[in-house]
């Protein structure tokens, strides 16, 4: 099903052990049938294979992966276990992002993508997100939900990420915490235009590069800057993979915790997969 499943499990198990050790997690109470490492691995399987619902995932594992996960709990406990992955997923994804910042980075790209719970017309009927989610607009129109903001490097590695409500402007989300540990050229779309933001980032040794709007005066641009701007579209490939291949958005989530647990699982599955072929295609185009 996944060629390097054992390798992924070993990585997850080592990281989980470190997290539990640092958090001084106690082992009081009844032992779970599935360990945290197994639950995280199952979550990665779900996102990598592209399974939409937990029920489909449960019966797939029960039928085809008995040898790998022989001690499977009831369906209700299985779903609760996947939801409880959220805290570990957040720490592991943040750790991977910090590791990616230490690589040799030529430039960075920042952008956001919509994470709708439903269309704006049905927001009153939405059973999750009440009092937390908000209304936003993208190229497809108005929606009700959240946003995912990411910063990637030239190799499409995620170096920073953040979830916000849909009404938060991209330039507002680009705060000190989002750019911590990043220096050099940061490429964004026209949603990041702002003199004050550019000055603020320049003080942190970050050169924010964006295209000018049609009604703005055109200034001379260095050839290197033009080349960097032309690579901005790689972030669209990142979002395309997260949504189409790794099912970033849960369309059948029954709780907000489940919605974001799947989103974090998609980020982890993306972080652990090989993108060398995608990068070669991007370089050709």
Q: 244 and 174 in one domain?
A: yes
Furthest-apart CA atoms within the chain: distance in Å: 67
Q: Are residues 227 and 141 in the same domain?
A: yes
d(C-alpha 58, C-alpha 81), whole Å:
12
* pLDDT for the residue 216: 58
Angle between helices 86-101 and 256-272 (to 10 degrees): 40
- CATH of residue 225's domain is 3.30.420
pLDDT at 284: 44
pLDDT value, residue 121 = 84
pLDDT of 273 reads: 85
Q: What is the DSSP letter of 124?
A: G
- Residue 220, domain member (yes or no): yes
- Is residue 271 domain-resident? no
The CA distance from 20 to 34, in Å, is 16
Please state the domain count of the chain.
2
What are the average pLDDT values for consecutive 10-residue runs of the chain, which has 285 residues? Answer: 77 88 66 88 92 91 88 92 92 94 92 92 82 89 94 95 96 94 92 91 92 62 74 92 93 89 95 69 48
Can you give the pLDDT at residue 285? 46
**pLDDT at residue 105, rounded to an integer:** 87
> Do residues 149 and 186 make contact, with C-beta atoms less than 8 angstroms apart?
no
Does residue 225 belong to any structural domain of this protein? yes
Domain range enclosing 28: 5-84
């Amino acid at each position: 099903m996944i060629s390097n499943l054992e390798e992924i499990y070993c990585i997850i198990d080592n990281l989980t052990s470190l997290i539990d050790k640092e958090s001084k997690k106690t082992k009081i109470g009844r032992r779970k049938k599935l360990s945290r490492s197994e639950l995280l691995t199952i979550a990665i399987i779900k996102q990598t294979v592209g399974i939409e619902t937990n029920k489909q995932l449960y019966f797939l594992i029960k039928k085809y992966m008995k040898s790998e996960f022989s001690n499977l709990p009831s369906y209700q406990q299985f779903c609760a276990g996947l939801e409880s992955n959220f805290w570990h997923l957040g720490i592991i994804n943040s750790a991977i992002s910090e590791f990616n910042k230490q690589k040799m980075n030529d430039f960075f790209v920042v952008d956001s993508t919509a994470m709708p719970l439903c269309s704006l017309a049905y927001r009153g009927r939405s059973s999750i997100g009440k009092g937390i989610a908000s209304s936003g607009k993208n190229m497809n129109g108005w929606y009700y939900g959240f946003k995912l903001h990411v910063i990637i490097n030239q190799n499409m590695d995620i170096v920073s990420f953040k979830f916000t409500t849909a009404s938060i402007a991209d330039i507002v989300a680009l705060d000190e915490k989002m750019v911590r540990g990043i220096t050099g050229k940061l490429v964004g779309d026209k949603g990041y235009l702002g003199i004050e933001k550019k000055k603020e980032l320049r003080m942190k040794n970050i050169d924010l590069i964006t295209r000018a709007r049609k009604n703005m005066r055109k200034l001379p641009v260095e050839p290197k800057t033009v080349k960097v701007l032309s690579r901005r579209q790689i972030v669209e490939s990142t979002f395309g993979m997260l949504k189409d291949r790794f099912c970033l958005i849960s369309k059948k989530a029954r709780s907000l915790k489940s919605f974001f647990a799947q989103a974090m699982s998609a980020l982890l599955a993306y972080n652990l997969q090989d993108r060398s072929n995608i990068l070669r295609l991007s370089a050709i185009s």
